[in-house]
């Protein structure tokens, strides 16, 4: 991987594949890196220049001061990477938490942002905005399963000190909300291996406190929204995006969870490629 230094002297690791229209990828998190998306997006390399990077404090990028771990700063890092590569404009593809980075990029750098592709993203993480629509999307059966895991976490893990096991137990609650087809769950699990990211706690807290819904009307570029209808939080998020963005279209994938690039790979790739054309 290559590295460049931001204006506040944080080294960001990145790699570039393919050729064609530039597309920067904003990965999910906070306890992941860009690597889980490389193979899933490789099919776009014959028509797109794919630009992957790890956020500051993630993966092979340098750690930063805690106050530098904001979605606004991560969006500015994307623009500084664009400038470092000598690009005038670019499209942005985001997955999961990366949606906050992509939306901030479109808001802060509208003249540089050609297009957004939002896969399993939401403009809000606050319970006030998302709780009820998420529960409606969840359904009764998974609500009961979710309640059982929440109870187990509260009784067994909530009072314990931080550990990888505790983090996995907390993430297992989210997995109920986001689970898709059983045949793909092992493949999905491989993409959700926890990384020891310096930014994880800060970004997780920020994610649940962020709500950009009322700012969506300011984003004029074309937006493609892709989501699986078994991904309850991001079904709710897709509805918020579609209703708030003035120039958006939506692809709803039936029976799919949080990773459309795994469960409906070819259809998702074709939708992305068609949008970029």
- Which band of pLDDT confidence, cut at 50, 70 and 90, is reported for residue 145? confident
The side-by-side arrangement of strands in the sheet containing 21-26 is 2-5, 11-18, 48-53, 21-26, 90-95, 113-119, 223-228, 248-253
Predicted local distance difference test score (pLDDT) of residue 186: 84
Predicted local distance difference test score (pLDDT) of residue 83: 98
pLDDT above 80 (res 170): no
Residue 212 in 3-state DSSP? coil
Predicted local distance difference test score (pLDDT) of residue 95: 98
Return the DSSP state at 57: T
| Sequence spans of domains, the chain | 2-128+193-276, 138-190
Predicted local distance difference test score (pLDDT) of residue 221: 98
Predicted local distance difference test score (pLDDT) of residue 180: 83
pLDDT above 80 (res 124): yes
pLDDT above 80 (res 97): yes
Q: What is the number of other CB atoms lying within 10 angstroms of the CB of residue 227?
A: 28
Predicted local distance difference test score (pLDDT) of residue 257: 94
DSSP labels for 9-34? S-EEEEEEEE-SEEEEEE---SS--T
Exposure b/e, 29-39, CB count within 10 A at least 16 = b:
bbbbbbbbbbe
Helices 127-138 and 140-152, packing angle to 10 deg: 120
CB 75 within 8 A of CB 67: no
CB 136 within 8 A of CB 221: no
| pLDDT mean across residues, the chain | 94
Predicted local distance difference test score (pLDDT) of residue 32: 93
pLDDT above 80 (res 175): no
Predicted local distance difference test score (pLDDT) of residue 168: 76
Predicted local distance difference test score (pLDDT) of residue 233: 93
pLDDT tens for 208-266 read 999 999 999 999 999 999 999 999 999 999 999 999 999 999 999 999 999 999 999 99
CATH number belonging to domain 2-128+193-276: 3.40.50.1820
pLDDT above 80 (res 174): no
Q: Which runs of E-coded beta strand occur in 27-89?
A: 48-53
CA angle 6, 7, 11 (to 5 degrees): 25
Predicted local distance difference test score (pLDDT) of residue 146: 82
pLDDT tens for 222-231 read 999 999 999 9
pLDDT tens for 19-50 read 999 999 999 989 999 999 999 999 999 999 99
pLDDT above 90 (res 163): no
Predicted local distance difference test score (pLDDT) of residue 192: 76
Token pair 């509805």 is found at 239
Query: Is 160 buried (19+), middle (13-18) or exposed (0-12) by CB count in 10 A?
Result: exposed
Residue 110 φ/ψ, nearest 5 degrees: -60, -30
Residue 121 in 3-state DSSP? coil
Bridge partner list, 21: 48
- Which band of pLDDT confidence, cut at 50, 70 and 90, is reported for residue 5? very high
Query: Is 266 buried (19+), middle (13-18) or exposed (0-12) by CB count in 10 A?
Result: exposed
pLDDT above 80 (res 171): no
Predicted local distance difference test score (pLDDT) of residue 179: 82
The rounded distance, in Å, linking the Cα atoms of 91 and 159 is: 44
């Amino acid at each position: 991987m290559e590295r460049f230094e931001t204006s506040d002297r944080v080294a960001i690791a990145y790699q570039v594949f393919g050729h064609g229209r530039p597309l920067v990828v904003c990965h999910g998190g906070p306890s992941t890196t860009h690597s889980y998306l490389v193979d899933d997006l490789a099919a776009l390399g014959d028509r797109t220049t794919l630009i992957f990077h790890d956020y500051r404090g993630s993966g092979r990028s340098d750690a930063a001061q805690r106050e530098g771990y904001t979605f606004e700063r991560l969006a500015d890092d994307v623009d500084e990477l664009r400038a470092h590569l000598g690009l005038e404009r670019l499209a942005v593809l985001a997955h999961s938490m990366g949606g906050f980075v992509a939306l901030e990029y479109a808001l802060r750098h509208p003249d540089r942002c050609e297009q957004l592709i939002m896969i399993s993203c939401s403009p809000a993480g606050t319970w006030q905005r998302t709780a009820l629509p998420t529960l409606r999307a969840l359904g009764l059966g998974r609500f009961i399963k979710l309640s059982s895991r929440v109870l187990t976490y509260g009784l067994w893990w909530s009072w314990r000190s931080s550990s990888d096991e505790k983090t996995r137990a907390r993430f297992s609650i989210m997995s109920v909300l986001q689970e898709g087809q059983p045949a793909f769950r092992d493949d999905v699990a491989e993409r959700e291996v926890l990384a020891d990211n310096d930014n994880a706690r800060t970004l997780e807290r920020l994610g649940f406190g962020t709500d950009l819904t009322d700012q969506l009307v300011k984003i004029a570029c074309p937006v493609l929204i892709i989501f699986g209808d078994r991904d309850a939080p991001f079904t709710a998020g897709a509805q918020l995006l579609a209703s708030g963005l003035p120039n958006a279209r939506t692809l709803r994938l039936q029976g799919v969870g949080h990773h459309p690039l795994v469960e409906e790979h070819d259809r998702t790739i074709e939708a992305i490629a068609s949008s970029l054309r």
